[in-house]
């Protein structure tokens, strides 16, 4: 077995030596100012060159924060920076951090813009997954950890850190603080943060530190290297929305008002045209966990174009302190009294409806008895914030026609959209919903669950800009 492995390594070494002899060095001159084609940096699709924002800023900074939109080339910038320090002999022990261990492997190391893919053949690293390590031919090594496990940084003494998508780390504050305590080796210890911004306390703190320098770009800076369909779908789905400002234009959004859905408007989103349309499937979404409140909505879906759907909500229901059996029967009666006359294509329940409590599965069984198993199931698991982002995209923004319309009879849901608010802590509004805002929460949960059941990936056929990392609810 050992002999076979040695032969395989020898064959690999010979192949890499052959590559070195035939490779065109200009293909790997990432920090070059020109290319053989005579195009400006970032314009050539053959000779990739770093744009200004992708180049490490001058000076004696300790942390470089490259804040950029989706598809901008953050991973490429981080990988090339690490590789440059390795080849220059500056980086000898590196710490690689991403939201999860899978993200480190699939994006930072083995991804299409990761360390292995972008390295030149004369200094290409080897990934050693069993050791959670990346090793270069010149002896440099990288240790891989995730943003979920800050204690894995203990005991390390590194000279280089690459922190990717820090705003999505599950334990961002403690992981960052612990990793920075390790950044003390060599004559020039430095870190790079490559992330799309979110209003995360540790990221805000990093950006205000005197030892941090920042470069910033939007998705459009890299449009020459993106599929035209991707760019077109971004414009159609997210441009003009709050999520688009964050995920496309890399804005670190401030929360200026307590209300969550700042673009909700009675004039734009509440219309008689949301009425039930005969012959079109009717969907019912019910938030029926173990809280005192139960909320439900009836809606239909229309195709606007190949990338967009329009959701029309024509009925709602809200109750407090009723049993699951009473709620199930009351919701069925309410549906019978709507213009749809009880017609139902699908019923989606809060996944928590199946959870056992001190009195057993209080909700699921009752709803099964009333609506039957054939059309009843739970809506897809997803992070609450992702579901709320999805609703904000449907509500649209200035100059964009909304894809969520509500009938005036849905007074409970309309009130919920008006009053749903951010959590407040020590006088500061956070980028998380207030956990104690019943009954608005129950109607909004039913709405996001219903939408998610139609677009389980967070979209129709367009791009999902925020990846779900962890913390399913």
CATH number, residue 384:
3.30.420.280
Are 87 and 137 within one domain? yes
Neighbours of 222 (CB within 10 A): 21
Whether the Cβ atoms of residue 83 and residue 60 lie closer than 8 Å to each other? no
Indicate if the pLDDT at residue 99 is higher than 90: yes
Are 173 and 310 within one domain? no
pTM to 2 decimal places: 0.62
Are 439 and 353 within one domain? yes
Are 160 and 274 within one domain? no
The reply to whether 466 falls in a domain is no
The reply to whether 402 falls in a domain is yes
Are 63 and 136 within one domain? yes
Lookup: tokens for 372: 């039957």
Are 315 and 182 within one domain? no
Model confidence pLDDT, tens digit, residues 185-222: 999 999 999 999 987 889 989 999 999 999 999 998 99
- The pLDDT value given to residue 452: 94
The reply to whether 424 falls in a domain is yes
The reply to whether 249 falls in a domain is no
Q: Which domain holds residue 206?
A: 2-224
- The pLDDT value given to residue 359: 41
How far is Cα 81 from Cα 76, in angstroms, rounded to an integer? 8
Are 44 and 155 within one domain? yes
What is the number of domains present in the chain? 2
Are 151 and 64 within one domain? yes
Are 100 and 199 within one domain? yes
Q: How confident is the model at residue 339 (pLDDT cuts 50, 70, 90)?
A: very high
- Tokens 């979920």: give the residue: 148
The reply to whether 237 falls in a domain is no
Indicate if the pLDDT at residue 237 is higher than 70: no
Are 279 and 190 within one domain? no
Are 219 and 271 within one domain? no
Are 303 and 157 within one domain? no
Phi-psi region of 120 (alpha: psi -120 to 50; beta: other; left: phi over 0): beta
Query: Residue 65 sits in a domain of what CATH number?
Result: 3.40.50.300
Angle, CA 388 vertex, CA 384 and CA 394 arms, to 5°? 150
Query: Three-class SS of residue 94?
Result: strand
The reply to whether 162 falls in a domain is yes
Lookup: tokens for 32: 């070059």
The reply to whether 444 falls in a domain is yes
The reply to whether 238 falls in a domain is no
């Amino acid at each position: 077995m050992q002999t076979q492995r040695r032969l395989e390594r020898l064959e690999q070494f010979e192949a890499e030596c052959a590559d070195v002899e035939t490779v065109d060095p200009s293909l790997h001159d990432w920090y070059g100012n020109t290319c053989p084609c005579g195009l400006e940096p970032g314009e050539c699709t053959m000779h990739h060159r770093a744009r200004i924002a992708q180049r490490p800023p001058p000076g004696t900074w300790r942390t470089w924060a490259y804040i950029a939109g989706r598809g901008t080339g953050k991973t490429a910038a981080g990988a090339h920076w690490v590789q440059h320090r390795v080849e220059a002999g500056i980086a000898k022990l590196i710490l690689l951090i991403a939201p999860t261990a899978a993200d480190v492997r699939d994006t930072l190391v083995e991804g299409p813009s990761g360390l292995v893919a972008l390295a030149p053949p004369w200094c290409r690293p080897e990934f050693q997954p069993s050791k959670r390590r990346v090793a270069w031919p010149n002896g440099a090594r990288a240790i891989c950890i995730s943003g979920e496990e800050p204690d894995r940084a203990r005991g390390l003494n590194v000279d280089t850190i690459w922190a990717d998508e820090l705003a999505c780390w599950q334990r961002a504050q403690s992981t960052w603080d612990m990793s920075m305590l390790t950044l003390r080796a060599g004559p020039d210890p430095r870190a790079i943060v490559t992330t799309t911004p979110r209003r995360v306390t540790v990221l805000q703190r990093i950006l205000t530190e005197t030892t941090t320098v920042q470069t910033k770009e939007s998705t459009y800076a890299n449009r020459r290297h993106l599929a035209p369909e991707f760019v077109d779908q971004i414009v159609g789905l997210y441009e003009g929305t709050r999520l688009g400002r964050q995920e496309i234009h890399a804005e670190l959004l401030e929360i200026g008002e307590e209300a969550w859905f700042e673009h909700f408007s009675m004039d734009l989103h509440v219309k008689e045209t949301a009425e039930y349309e005969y012959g079109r499937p009717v969907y019912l979404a019910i938030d029926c966990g173990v809280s005192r409140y139960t909320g439900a909505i009836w809606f239909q879906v229309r195709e606007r174009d190949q990338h967009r759907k329009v959701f029309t909500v024509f009925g709602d229901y809200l109750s407090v302190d009723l049993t699951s059996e009473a709620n199930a029967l009351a919701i069925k009666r309410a549906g019978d009294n709507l213009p749809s006359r009880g017609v139902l294509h699908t019923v989606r329940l809060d996944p928590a409806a199946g959870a056992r409590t001190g009195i057993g599965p209080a909700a699921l069984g009752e709803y099964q008895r009333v609506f039957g198993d054939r059309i009843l199931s739970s809506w897809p698991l997803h992070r609450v914030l992702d579901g709320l982002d999805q609703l904000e995209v449907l509500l649209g923004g200035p100059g964009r026609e909304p894809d969520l319309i509500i009938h005036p009879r849905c007074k409970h849901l309309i009130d919920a959209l008006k009053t749903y608010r951010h959590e407040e802590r020590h006088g500061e509004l956070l980028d998380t919903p207030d956990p104690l805002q019943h009954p608005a929460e129950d109607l909004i949960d039913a709405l996001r669950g219903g939408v998610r059941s139609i677009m389980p990936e967070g979209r129709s056929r367009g791009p999902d800009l925020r990846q779900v990392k962890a913390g399913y609810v």
